[in-house]
Amino acid sequence: MFYYAIKELLKRKKLYLLNVMTIGLVTLMVITLNSLATAYREAARLPFEDIQGNIIIQRNGNVPETTSGVLLSCSLAPIPQVLVSQIINIDGVKDVSAALSLWVFDPDNFKRVSGVDFHDNFGKKLAAKLIDGSIPNTDNQILVEKTYAQKYPLEVGQETTISGQHFTVTGIVGTAGNEVMASDIYLNLGAAQEMAYQSKNLQQVETFNKTDVNVIFVNVSQPDLKTIAQNIKEIVTDSGINTGKTPLGETIGSYNIYTPESFENQISTVFRISDKLTWVISLILFIGAAIIVARNALRIILERRREFGIMKTVGFRNRDIQSEVNLETFIQIVAGFFAGLILSAIAVVTLSHTTVSIAIPWELTAYPHFLLSNPSEANVTQMHFLPIRLEPLYVFASLAIIMVVGLATSFLSVWQINKLKPMEVMRHE
């Protein structure tokens, strides 16, 4: 039977080849398009890898009248420690880290300074980037970013001054410079909080308490992300909102809550595609494939009416003929599916070598525009390879779609075969 099926397929190879190509195209498009959509969701999470979390919280603040001494970076407002405690108590929250991002306008040079708890997840992630030395053990010790250390030559064991205070360099960290919360200098959170508290210029802009921070990183499970982000929004909405606008148009006192979804619109690439569009295209392909394969099946049954009539006349039962037609259909499905699967694998490997650019919001890795000869240099972009892979879910989904098309075709063929009357066929053929 298998040999006979192959012989029949080769006899009408143009029609059968069209079916195989149609099935292969549907498989290719369903797998590739859905894998692309998933890859973009994964790409939106890449900026969060450096912070060991998937929710970032900041608060919009007032703009200082003068830029000197110690200030909160990019006009951020202080966040009270009580908010950190409230977030920790939300069901589903795995971990919460807090930091303090400062701009220090010293007479010698400008410094981006971050206060970090080196024992929380964000601090441990930073410590993992040490290329020399060790993390600070006291409040008068600091880590220096590699590029900054090369520009103002600084080495482990050397002393430097920040806002009139002397600090010893205990380590050098290697960063790309475009990460979320990128900084030139990292010190213990308590030391940064004391520095901010003692700054008269900062206190004139915002009332800062010794335990305040200005950025919070929250780590949650991906399935709980939307729910917990909404819970946090409800908590911070109850906070007092001031009047006025920041230079970026945000309401002063309001909170910004960033999740991977916040970065999806920041991804720049020609291959971007939404989930809804993906499913619409998949549905259209499914319907189109079903029409083409069914049309060809009817045409083949019509061409083989005499053959099937003779087979019935010499004793073949309907189910014998049906088995033969179903086998031919199955061979076409298998051939088309594996052809599409191979092409999908090639497409995925090819796309995995393409890069996507993700624009990081200025306030997440801010550098003062007015200190740059070219203000556009303050805009930070991360480049990543597209994290696309052959998803087993979409492989099985495409197989299920193709099997539905195959079953529909077999049902239609059986219906047509059962209608054949041997004597009528022989009379008219």
What is the mean pLDDT of the segment spanning 319-327? 69
What is the mean pLDDT of the segment spanning 332-357? 89
Q: Let me know whether 62 and 147 are in one domain.
A: yes
What is the mean pLDDT of the segment spanning 321-332? 73
SS3 letters across 337-406 = HHHHHHHHHHHHHHHCCCEEEEEECHHHCCCCHHHCCCHHHHCEEEEEECCCCCCHHHHHHHHHHHHHHH
pLDDT tens, 57-114?
999 888 887 888 999 987 789 999 999 999 999 999 999 999 999 999 998 899 999 9
Kindly state the tokens that stand for 105.
Answer: 């306008």
Q: Let me know whether 361 and 381 are in one domain.
A: yes
Which of residues 258, 290, 318 is at a domain's end? Answer: 258
Residue 11 counted as domain residue: yes
Q: Let me know whether 131 and 178 are in one domain.
A: yes
pLDDT at 427 over 60: no
Q: Let me know whether 220 and 278 are in one domain.
A: no
In terms of pLDDT, which residue wins out, 182 or 300? 182
In terms of pLDDT, which residue wins out, 49 or 15? 49
Rounded Cα–Cα distance for residues 162 and 210 (Å): 18
Residue 264 counted as domain residue: no
Residue 23 counted as domain residue: yes
In terms of pLDDT, which residue wins out, 319 or 197? 197
pLDDT at 21 over 80: yes
Q: What is the pLDDT of residue 246?
A: 55
Instruction: Quote the mean pLDDT of the chain.
Output: 81
Residue 410 counted as domain residue: yes
The domain total for the chain is 2
Structure confidence at residue 168 as a pLDDT band (50, 70, 90): very high
Q: What is the pLDDT of residue 9?
A: 55
Q: Let me know whether 184 and 215 are in one domain.
A: yes
Smallest CA-to-CA distance from 179 within 149, 136, 233, 217 is with: 217
Which of residues 258, 293, 317 is at a domain's end? Answer: 258
Helix (H, G, I), strand (E, B) or coil at 184: coil
Please tell me the pTM assigned to this model. 0.74
Q: What is the pLDDT of residue 136?
A: 94
Q: What is the pLDDT of residue 419?
A: 61
pLDDT at 316 over 70: no
Q: What is the pLDDT of residue 269?
A: 54
Residue 209 counted as domain residue: yes
Which of residues 208, 223, 258 is at a domain's end? Answer: 258
% of the chain residues with pLDDT over 70: 76
In terms of pLDDT, which residue wins out, 224 or 302? 224
Q: Let me know whether 307 and 277 are in one domain.
A: yes
Q: Let me know whether 241 and 294 are in one domain.
A: no
pLDDT at 191 over 90: yes
Structure confidence at residue 141 as a pLDDT band (50, 70, 90): very high
Q: Let me know whether 6 and 100 are in one domain.
A: no
Structure confidence at residue 12 as a pLDDT band (50, 70, 90): low
Q: Let me know whether 221 and 354 are in one domain.
A: no
244-261 in b/e burial notation, b at 16+ Cβ within 10 A?
Answer: eebeeebebbbbbbbbbe
Residue 155 counted as domain residue: yes
Q: Calculate the alpha carbon distances from 14 to 150, 298, 416 in Å.
A: 68, 15, 22
Q: Let me know whether 33 and 164 are in one domain.
A: no
Q: Which domain holds residue 285?
A: 2-44+270-428
Structure confidence at residue 13 as a pLDDT band (50, 70, 90): low
Q: Let me know whether 32 and 72 are in one domain.
A: no
In terms of pLDDT, which residue wins out, 273 or 400? 400
pLDDT at 281 over 80: no
pLDDT at 14 over 60: yes
Residue 49 counted as domain residue: no
Residue 50 counted as domain residue: no
Q: Let me know whether 295 and 371 are in one domain.
A: yes
Q: What is the pLDDT of residue 50?
A: 74
